[in-house]
Structure 1
């Protein structure tokens, strides 16, 4: 009997929306997966978790959560849902219990991107002169598209914490981006090792789902094969 294809639910990062996975979704749909890209609130960690849980209600089990950047924090908090069978992290943060993103980032060399952020009324976003540090391996036109469509999250989200990260009980996979200037590669190495994640490295900026989608798809396929049920 053929295995049931796992569902895939994506969680985007702070300066993005669900369309950042547009190069992945059609391929996964063609392969028979139910796929939803959650549209996160960028207002609070609780709101992000609720958005992912609402997406999970629309798909069948087993499901894989895929989180990019801050989305790794989100899937760690949302992944204890009963439908979730595995977690895939893309250049992502991943907390220990009680650890904030700000604390995690502060343990390592500050990436260059953080010198090119703007803040107003409690919201933060990437300045125009900083977008190359976020997605420098895209064409100039695509870099400007990423800049124009970025979200503006609440700064206080960086201090949010979770009590029971799902990676402690669910299998995980990690894509480490070695040319990343938004989440330092040393931080990525640390969190992927701490989780015991199945880790693959790629010579990419912070947005491998846009610059090297086939590498990302291969990692998601490995996770899907591992958790597929008869």
Structure 2
């Protein structure tokens, strides 16, 4: 019996690898090698290097799963030889030469962006704005997300990539309908542009924390397709 695909996660701008803690144990118990890359939040190049280091540690074929800005990262990192599929969760995904900033600017500005703070070139979510990021979690869990958030460099949103991997790999997309961080219309646009197999869910920007079963089901669907094609 063929081994199951490996899973490598890429987190977004205001997170770290632990944001996938509610789905990783189940995937491991089901026989997948799993690594959640710890992205630098300094540059796209650093993010790609972190994902490639994680891919080098697992067996192929592998599925990359990117949340939010992590979708931009897996699009740039996904041409690695081991990658067989891409899963996007409430994620950005670029065309060649397109920055995240340009992509976000084409759609209504989500409420979260009025609740950010900046100092010394770093950006983070204001305490009072965390509900726009993860409003379907309990108040205690929302404050945990706030306390453990990353603080990315602002210029990271201007980075571009030349050869997005979604053009040559099968893709799946989880579209979050109650999202106030990445506008649902933007999610719908990028998922349709990629030709992704798309599932919609009534959740905030963090379905892997608020509705992990839905995230797991989509990853399983991708894993089954990748295994069947191997």
Q: Per-residue deviation at 1:198?
A: 0.2
Number of the residue aligned with 1:97: 96
Q: Per-residue deviation at 1:178?
A: 0.2
Q: Per-residue deviation at 1:93?
A: 0.1
Deviations 1:180-217 (A, max 9, x none): 00000000000000000000000000000000000000
TM-score by length of 1: 0.99
For 2:128 and 2:113, the matched residues in 1 are separated by 12
Secondary structure of residue in 2 paired with 1:228: helix
Q: Which segments of structure 1 move beyond 4 Å, counting only runs of 4 or more?
A: none
Give the aligned CA root-mean-square deviation in angstroms. 0.6
For 2:177 and 2:80, the matched residues in 1 are separated by 31
Q: Per-residue deviation at 1:51?
A: 0.1
Which structure 2 segments of 5+ residues have no match? none
Number of the residue aligned with 1:10: 9
2:140 corresponds to 1:141: yes
For 1:144 and 1:50, the matched residues in 2 are separated by 30
Q: Per-residue deviation at 1:62?
A: 0.2
For 2:37 and 2:98, the matched residues in 1 are separated by 24
Number of the residue aligned with 2:223: 224
Number of the residue aligned with 1:160: 159
Q: Per-residue deviation at 1:4?
A: 2.1
Deviations 1:8-49 (A, max 9, x none): 000000000000000000000000000000000000000000
Which structure 1 segments of 5+ residues have no match? none
2:38 corresponds to 1:52: no
Secondary structure of residue in 1 paired with 2:88: strand
TM-score by length of 2: 0.99
